[in-house]
Structure 1
């Protein structure tokens, strides 16, 4: 019976490949499948995605900056395996992910999998990516709910060490991302702009505005300004050439021609050719930034077509449906005089997942406002979860699972329900908008203006990664008398820990998980040597 079904499938689809993990593994190792979408049957695609992503939820430490590096190594460099996308497509997807709200690395993985194997497989990849960390944070919430108000002394050293080592890992990832993002003077300027802007100020509207400005600047420069400047330069060069030519002709008229030159007179075209500077002749073969952008956009490999995207109108319908659900949830909370806490919690998380651009630096203070200010979660429990999530694998937005479970304590609702509401509320907006935008992006990605905008967004967003380093640095040192955390610079030891993890990962290829564990050990060592006295415990 089984062989009959396989024969029927082969007859209907000549490219049918029987499903087994061995055949999937061979498919992944075949270089002929590089940068091609997986168009086999659904079980084969699900197995393909499972084998390439199952471990990420357990091993992707370090937050979004490190995650982007891991995803690039996994799906672009792909040592020993066929890459899913080329470098150009990866950076396009990175820019699209940064331009949408929600957890950036989660959207990036979702988009990569959907690009390669379709929506159903992207959903599987999302759960493989997020559920291990979400389960860990839920279990942490159960444990935190049972500990006393005063933490044991070693915990402060442990958590501070975790934060310091995470800073080192994120700083290294930021440097590596910048190295890849810098391709020309404009991208250098935008990276510096994004980094400086993010360090100076933080607000809900501010980071997306900076990313948008980066995209606009790239479009203005490459589509209009560089062309205008090029035309001005060309006119000035032509003017100098004409003046030089006129001077030569007047000199020839005033002087006699030597007899030996009469037998081989130079033609006017030859004289003009020799009078034109070599640089000007070379410039005739150069392309403007606009032409380069158009060429890059139009020469995207055919194998990189988004085979699994929805149509434009379907994408628009999904986006409209999302914003309708967003409006309905907030309206339902507003019209109820005393909304249930579970509705209030879900609305807060859904709102956070919808309006957050820029990841952790913005979402952390917002989640604090949504959970600590109403009295649902204590400042101490918030800081414990914040320190632990930095050392957890997977997306940092799993912090919402921890907060959701703690928020419903004493309300008659189980912690699991609160964790589930936090998970769905914070994660649904980003992937849902990604699905809607995918259909539109497939059409507009070949436009020169879109290619330029994505390049500007990409460079500015990479610069904003340094914001995450700075924000965590400023709250990473935990003490009993600090409700919001202190700067790691308050104790030189944490600078040492950050430097050790940075150099260990950069020079000695220490995996992020081991580097973070080393930071925890160094934090405990600090407590044993000097922490008791410093903390007054």
Structure 2
């Protein structure tokens, strides 16, 4: 007989059978937690980070090193030197690198967008109204801008002091910080800043490996031996029976040789800094091969853009604006304070933007959060609109944004791909220590330059020094003291400076 098995009864899936595997659930929770932490850490920076790159660096240190501990102090100092040594917006590259190391390339790119867009939108909005105002502005507006600039000077000065406290680790770094600030105020050619930082890096390598120490020690030792030989020749012959005196003389000579130059180390072998902790592959932005490819591709595009810029007889205005800003973003070292005079030559000098509009944007960008390179959005919108009335300002704003920010971010991404390899070299740590010290000294240069042009009024729309009136110096001191000893955040100091400027106008001018 044939027997038939009863069919397997159909069972509805239960919660136990549909539950996702534990590793998958843990991975999903980990990814969700990572992005939540990313948003919480970055969303507000583009709205609250006032004061320019020096203050931004201090804000990043407090948040990502002290509080969140995404990177350690040594990694922060290395990134600081690396971002100062590469062209482009220094603080923007710093935020990009920190987020890329912590969460990958996508995290770095999104942090860059969150960081830049609030200020960029604000500068674009400013460009919409600037072309509609007259040649002069109301007197209270000048007082407001002067108060904002005066408070910014105090904030940057405080940031310079705080950065110096971390950059100075020995006598050599102290000398380099001083030289960076002093020499940067005396000479400001574009080629000078990268050469100066490179020289500082070489100086610390020579110092840490004690090459000059050993040379000086050998030179001094040879001179002492020559002097002793001369003394032996000119001295009378020793008495044969006086053996103790000869022994005493030999002992004295040996003691002199052993105690000569006690500051220098006895060992002649180099003692460079210890190798930094490993840079794990999962935190690496790109591989070293990809990093080399990115750097080579950037320089290929840069050469192409510059060749077309020089060979086209009548290039379209949007392309000319893009090429000038692309060139500025590539050759700028030192961040926002250095880019201002260059943009004046490349934009105002071409006749695309008036000097009045440029100075107005310069005053406003000091009071805006985010990177100072956002002024390129303002200048690009005005340049394209003034030169070609049929073209919308949005196109000029985008041209300015991508022209200024692309070089620095692309180069930072490429170099970070090489970083896991080159940072293991002991000389790299020494070199970046010198670059870090020189870059910190240049922050004092930014304080000096803004101090010279911070006060605006109807008669001197180009700006005058804060010392023209003791009141503005007092505003600067207020922001410095408030941040140094009372924990006043930078954005609050900026607002108080603007309010004090308006109060000064009501008490003095009105």
Q: CA deviation at 1:531?
A: 3.1
**CA 1:418/1:233 → structure 2, altered by over 3 Å: closer, same or farther?**
same
Give the corresponding residue for 1:197.
183
- Find the aligned partners of 1:7 and 1:52 in 2 and give their Cα distance: 30
TM-score normalised by L of structure 1: 0.82
Work out which of the residue numbers 485, 497, 504 in structure 1 matches 2:463: 485
1:427-466 mapped onto 2 (5 Å cutoff): 427-466=405-444
- Find the aligned partners of 1:519 and 1:362 in 2 and give their Cα distance: 24
**CA 1:284/1:331 → structure 2, altered by over 3 Å: closer, same or farther?**
closer
5+ residue gaps, structure 1, are: 24-40, 241-249, 257-270, 533-537
5+ residue gaps, structure 2, are: 1-12, 228-237, 245-250
Give the corresponding residue for 1:87.
73
Q: CA deviation at 1:325?
A: 1.0
- Find the aligned partners of 2:226 and 2:278 in 1 and give their Cα distance: 44
Give the corresponding residue for 2:213.
226
TM-score normalised by L of structure 2: 0.86
Kindly name which structure, 1 or 2, has the bigger radius of gyration based on alpha carbons. 2
Give the corresponding residue for 2:23.
10
**Does residue 331 of structure 2 align to residue 321 of structure 1?**
no
CA contact (8 A) 1:85 1:304 kept: no
- Find the aligned partners of 2:65 and 2:287 in 1 and give their Cα distance: 26
CA contact (8 A) 2:139 2:457 kept: no
- Find the aligned partners of 1:90 and 1:424 in 2 and give their Cα distance: 27
- Find the aligned partners of 2:165 and 2:207 in 1 and give their Cα distance: 22
Partner-residue secondary structure (3-state), 1:428: helix
Partner-residue secondary structure (3-state), 1:408: helix
CA contact (8 A) 2:104 2:285 kept: yes
- Find the aligned partners of 2:326 and 2:242 in 1 and give their Cα distance: 84
Of 333-342 and 519-528, more deviation after overlay is shown by 333-342
**Does residue 277 of structure 2 align to residue 291 of structure 1?**
no
- Find the aligned partners of 1:135 and 1:512 in 2 and give their Cα distance: 21
- Find the aligned partners of 2:310 and 2:355 in 1 and give their Cα distance: 27
Alignment RMSD, CA only? 3.5
Give the corresponding residue for 1:331.
307
Partner-residue secondary structure (3-state), 2:283: coil
CA contact (8 A) 1:97 1:107 kept: yes
1:277-288 mapped onto 2 (5 Å cutoff): none
- Find the aligned partners of 2:418 and 2:213 in 1 and give their Cα distance: 28
Give the corresponding residue for 1:473.
451
Give the corresponding residue for 1:49.
38
Give the corresponding residue for 1:169.
155
Work out which of the residue numbers 58, 62, 75 in structure 1 matches 2:64: 75
Q: CA deviation at 1:72?
A: 0.6
Work out which of the residue numbers 116, 127, 130 in structure 2 matches 1:144: 130
CA contact (8 A) 2:89 2:371 kept: yes
Give the corresponding residue for 2:200.
214
- Find the aligned partners of 1:3 and 1:320 in 2 and give their Cα distance: 54
CA contact (8 A) 2:100 2:283 kept: no
CA contact (8 A) 1:101 1:356 kept: yes
CA contact (8 A) 2:177 2:440 kept: yes
Q: CA deviation at 1:127?
A: 0.7
Partner-residue secondary structure (3-state), 1:147: coil
Partner-residue secondary structure (3-state), 1:17: helix
Q: CA deviation at 1:147?
A: 2.1
- Find the aligned partners of 1:356 and 1:289 in 2 and give their Cα distance: 39
Give the corresponding residue for 1:32.
none
1:210-359 mapped onto 2 (5 Å cutoff): 210-223=196-209, 224-229=211-216, 290-293=270-273, 296=274, 298=275, 300-302=276-278, 307-359=283-335
Q: CA deviation at 1:229?
A: 3.9
User: Which whole-Å deviations, capped at 9, do the CAs of 1:34-56 have from their partners, x for residues lacking one?
Assistant: xxxxxxx5x65443322211111
Partner-residue secondary structure (3-state), 1:473: helix
**CA 1:289/1:174 → structure 2, altered by over 3 Å: closer, same or farther?**
farther
Q: CA deviation at 1:138?
A: 1.0
